[in-house]
Structure 1
Amino acid sequence: MYTTSTAFLEALTEAGISHIFANFGSDHPALLEAIAEARASGRPIPTVMTAPNEMVGMCAAHGFAQVSGKPQLVLVHVECGTQSLAGAVHNAARARVPMLVFAGASPFTQDGELTGSRNEFIHWLQDVHDQRGIVRGYMKYDAEIRTGRNVKQMVHRALQFATSAPKGPTYLMGAREVMEEELAASVTIDPKQWKPVDPGALTAKAIARILDGIDKAERPLLVTSFAGRNPNAVGELVRFCERLGIGVQESAPSALNIPHDHPLYLGNQWNEPHQNKALAEADFVLVVDSDVPWIPTINRPAEGAPIVHIDVDPLKEAMPLWYIGAEESVRADAETALAQLNAALDARAIDAKKVAARTAHYSAQSKARRAALAEKETRSEGLITPEFLTATVRKHIDPEETIVLSEGITNYTVIANHMRMTAPGSYFASGGSSLGWSGGAAIGSKLAAPEKTVVALTGDGSYMFSIPSTVHWMAAKYETPFLQVVYNNRGWKAPRFSALAVHPEGYASKANDLDLSFEPSPAYADIAAAAGGAFARKVDRPEDLDAAVKEALHVVQTEKRCAVLDVWLSPV
């Protein structure tokens, strides 16, 4: 039979979807039949990856898209599976990650009127008023498939939304009877008609305003968080800043935006409670692709410094409260905008003396920063510091052949500072704020770039959120080995810091126990060993760390197994 489900799978293949991260249920008989039929007849369909936990499956799709730029399908079970996607939905939305989520729906007939009619008690329990509404606030597009006659149009439209800037997740659902519908003829459309919408560009006025503002400035500064989500934007950004001597400051970076050894790179800032020196000195600020370029209660540009903002979503339409005081905001793609600015410079006189002075100023700051960081990487007697741990991992990787996933939370800054990644597309954070992304993302990253070594650096709280039993079962089954390093604080450090930031002299500052401890600490590495045969080691002495990292990477690269290092950091 040629059914809606057959056409659905064909549409995915036409769109270039290579993987289905699936958690099947009673709503999917038609899809299971169509998958089996395709395999039996030799017809190509995406590779099905069984994801015993829906959130891990969506995190894998997230990681795959971050590395490759290509959306994948996450398949879940009715409203239960939709809810089990959990915080991965938030992360995909906030990080603007393209993907398609498909969920079945309870049958809408109960007397056998159509194939797929209700025949299990759960079909009444899983019939809810607004299944799509569960995730509507996070999806760029949501719809219901109501007939197989236009299912391909629905799939391609959902993916067109997902891949058009600002990118993001989309959601389709279809009841059993609809997915079972037998079609008289195959559904044929032209996928070329469903390409992503071309990205926005700067106007001539905006180009002139930006370049004129930089010309007048002594200390122009570019602030970004995720321009490097598109690796092609990195080269344009570097070229632009080099030609004009502009310093680059990252704010909560979720991608590598500029090589971290570049002399114009001034570092990254997250929640550190102090004024950023470069931002305070800047007399022109160009913000490119950033949701939070600074936290104004503690860190902001100087009064009167002109701010221009370039972003594919400059209004931050999903955020009820957002403003940065920009005197001009432009809806434009970062790569396109920076390429336009570089092209405009070709026909513009540049004050070489002024550029040299700016470059010398920022290069001196960058050199001093790197020297200060190097001092923190030395080994302390009996203690493993986050800086020493990160530097040790860095020593054993090839930065050109490694993808680093950071979910260190209170060690976000440390990881970004001390991994010192340099290649576009080599460093990612989730881009959102829901924890547990890095395990599934490591699987997706390895699938997207099997030739790379994937290293996931995570806090102990994030590790537990990631459902490591599912992560490491999937990694073993689908041969996606990666190194996972747990920065073990023995508890939640972030809530402690949040409490002390608001109540520095309050009761919480004096309390011995804020109910944030994970002690006695679980055997984190052993969970991975039991679930997926991973190499597992606990490291609590600094003298053992170097050998442990070396052996773990050997296991990942040579034995093709995951390795988990449970590294006990010095007490807070």
Structure 2
Amino acid sequence: MEHSTQAVGRHGAATITVRHAVIDLLRRLGITSVFANPGSTELPMFRDFPEDFRYVLGLQEAVVVGMADGYAQATGNAALVNLHSAAGVGNAMGNIFTAYKNRTPLIVTAGQQARSILPFDPFLAASQATELPKPYVKWSIEPARAADVPLAIARAWHIAMQEPKGPVFVSIPVDDWDQPAEMVESTQVSTRARPEPALVSLVSEALAGCRNPAFVVGAEVDRAGAWDEVVQLAEQQSASVYVAPMSSRCSFPEDHPLFAGFLPAMREKIVSLLEGHDVILVLGAPAFSYHVEGRGPHVPAGATLFQIIDDPATAAWTPVGTSIVANLKLGLSDLIAASPPTSREYPAPRRAAERAQATEVISAAFALQTLAEVRKANDVVVEEAPSARPVMQRYLPFTRAHTFFTMASGGLGYGMPAAVGVALAKPENRVIALIGDGSSMYSPQAIWSAVQLDLPITFVILNNARYAALQEFAPVFGFAPTDPVQGTDLSGLDFVALAKGMGCEGVRVSHAGHLKAALEQALASGETRLVEIVIG
């Protein structure tokens, strides 16, 4: 370690190098896993790699960022990503965008050519390196001097961890790592804001005086560790609890009698579902995320909207009501303390889904109902099956915190590598990657990483041989029900063969009677397995 991270000065004395200072800093920050795909301009960073660090290899840069995203979300700490110059950052941009929308703290580093030849536009140089990942990083820098690299990474960590969390970017010239530097002193910066007491009192008074409150919960509740507080406040106020449109985490037990269901990303439908509620409290989510153009009011007539969110930018565009910028756990704790229990009775419970039946062609509902039957409550599901998500929300309920992850961006290629990162961070849990056939082709290299790391992941591929989400969405844009939608057929894919080529055992299930046993065997194996389910 000492030999590998120190250089010898002109008088023979040992000199601390950039590499030494950065490794020491990362170790003190608890960041000893590096998610990377190697390139020439990054090699000096990894010379004599320290024994207490782990290099997590991804076979493509989007996979690297996806794995780091899952790992960071599951651990709560920033993850370190190392990419290769401009081309590597370009390959990774889709999942950097997703990390930004997921509010995932990532320190994304990328190699740069040597400073001395940058004026000559050398091969593999990144022109305007700091501009490339913008606007989907919170901060971007190429330090002015080699000696500034350790401090830049320290600052990057603080910014990534400051709510709202998110990715940051540091471009590092290849010749900086062996240059002299100073060790970074430990500093502590607050990352969470407490709400204004007067606004907490305003919300408390509104809850005390209302007839029929509704809560709308989003991903920030789960990220902030505020699951218990939401349940406590909902029970205290007898409030119906809805999930915000496009929420990427589970923030309320979906078997709770107060659980009211999921809001769609359409203005008119949101207003219709919230009709009859006179106070709407949005917790850890935008108010609201829309997918298509809508018209009319944003909330039902006569309803008052309040929002607690950790992102001032989101609060700023909320079109109606009162927004409080605060950490969700702190905000909810203060609101619970300020709000006396209500005498209101619980609203009528949500109607249970009708049981799906076995048919000649397996339905998505039957597939997900079967998965729910074999899954343990603490098994973690990482989902990227957009067309099956409404079905999943009826037939695959989540009842515990930190057991559901998906992408908040709508960009594909996140789910399979994110499952690898989650499994690395949660070795005590089984992980299920629930992926659509179209989604799975964006980053299937993640299967190889899972096998190499010997992770207990079951990749469940829902294969309907098409981009079903696009076909189902086409009528919104004027397609007739029978009109063909170009570029949406996906015939001829063999996911079992694909998995086998990466060292993963797999099975293809096309008969409903074989499904339960196939899923049970894969989950019980303790290995990386793939189950391809042919659905209609």
TM-score, normalisation: structure 1: 0.86
Tell me what 1:510 maps to. 482
1:298-447 alignment, distance < 5 Å: 300-316=298-314, 323-345=317-339, 348=340, 350-352=341-343, 355-356=344-345, 359=346, 361=347, 364-366=348-350, 368=351, 370=352, 373=353, 375=354, 377-400=355-378, 402-447=379-424
Residues 545 and 416 of structure 1, relative CA distance in 2, 3 Å threshold: same
CA contact (8 A) 2:407 2:414 kept: yes
> What amino acid is aligned across from residue 364 of structure 2 in structure 1?
P
> What amino acid is aligned across from residue 549 of structure 1 in structure 2?
L
The CA deviation at 1:351 is: 4.2
The CA deviation at 1:422 is: 0.8
Tell me what 1:460 maps to. 437
1:489-500 alignment, distance < 5 Å: 489-500=464-475
Tell me what 1:109 maps to. 116
TM-score, normalisation: structure 2: 0.91
Match of 1:280, SS? coil
* CA deviations over 1:480-530 (Å, ceiling 9, x no partner): 23011111121112222332112154xxx43245231011x3101221121
Partners of 1:130 and 1:381 lie apart in 2 by: 57
1:234-245 alignment, distance < 5 Å: 234-245=227-238
Partners of 1:378 and 1:29 lie apart in 2 by: 54
Tell me what 1:114 maps to. none
* CA deviations over 1:419-442 (Å, ceiling 9, x no partner): 211111111112221101111111
Pair 1:270-2:264 in alignment: yes
Match of 2:221 among 220, 225, 228: 228
Partners of 2:451 and 2:32 lie apart in 1 by: 19
Aligned residues with identical type, % of pairs: 22
Partners of 2:435 and 2:342 lie apart in 1 by: 45
Match of 1:20 among 13, 34, 54: 34
Match of 1:27, SS? helix
> What amino acid is aligned across from residue 456 of structure 1 in structure 2?
A
Q: State which drifts further: 287-296 or 416-425.
A: 287-296
Match of 2:177 among 143, 161, 179: 179
CA contact (8 A) 2:260 2:349 kept: yes
Partners of 2:34 and 2:458 lie apart in 1 by: 24
* CA deviations over 1:87-145 (Å, ceiling 9, x no partner): 101110011000101111012324xxxxxx99xx9x72322431111102011111113
As a proportion of its length, which structure holds more helix? 1
CA contact (8 A) 1:228 1:425 kept: no
Match of 1:7 among 21, 32, 52: 21
Match of 1:152, SS? helix
Partners of 1:515 and 1:58 lie apart in 2 by: 27
Partners of 2:359 and 2:59 lie apart in 1 by: 43
Tell me what 1:289 maps to. 284
Partners of 1:274 and 1:489 lie apart in 2 by: 30
Tell me what 2:4 maps to. none
Q: State which drifts further: 230-239 or 2-11.
A: 2-11
Match of 1:490, SS? coil
Pair 1:487-2:457 in alignment: no
Tell me what 1:75 maps to. 82
For structure 2, list consecutive stretches of 5 or more residues without a partner in the other structure. Answer: 1-6, 8-15
Match of 2:236, SS? helix
Pair 1:218-2:214 in alignment: no
1:86-105 alignment, distance < 5 Å: 86-105=93-112
CA contact (8 A) 1:228 1:424 kept: no
Pair 1:63-2:77 in alignment: no
The CA deviation at 1:274 is: 7.0
Tell me what 2:13 maps to. none
CA contact (8 A) 1:309 1:330 kept: yes
Partners of 2:428 and 2:326 lie apart in 1 by: 33
Match of 2:207, SS? helix
The CA deviation at 1:18 is: 2.4
For structure 1, list consecutive stretches of 5 or more residues without a partner in the other structure. Answer: 111-116
> What amino acid is aligned across from residue 102 of structure 2 in structure 1?
A
Match of 2:260, SS? strand
CA contact (8 A) 1:460 1:486 kept: yes
Residues 81 and 324 of structure 1, relative CA distance in 2, 3 Å threshold: same
Tell me what 2:500 maps to. 529
Residues 443 and 410 of structure 1, relative CA distance in 2, 3 Å threshold: same
* CA deviations over 1:152-200 (Å, ceiling 9, x no partner): 22111100000010000011011122223145xxx33332x1x342411
> What amino acid is aligned across from residue 105 of structure 2 in structure 1?
P
CA contact (8 A) 2:277 2:303 kept: yes
Match of 1:232, SS? coil
Partners of 1:30 and 1:420 lie apart in 2 by: 47
The CA deviation at 1:205 is: 1.6
Residues 294 and 471 of structure 1, relative CA distance in 2, 3 Å threshold: closer
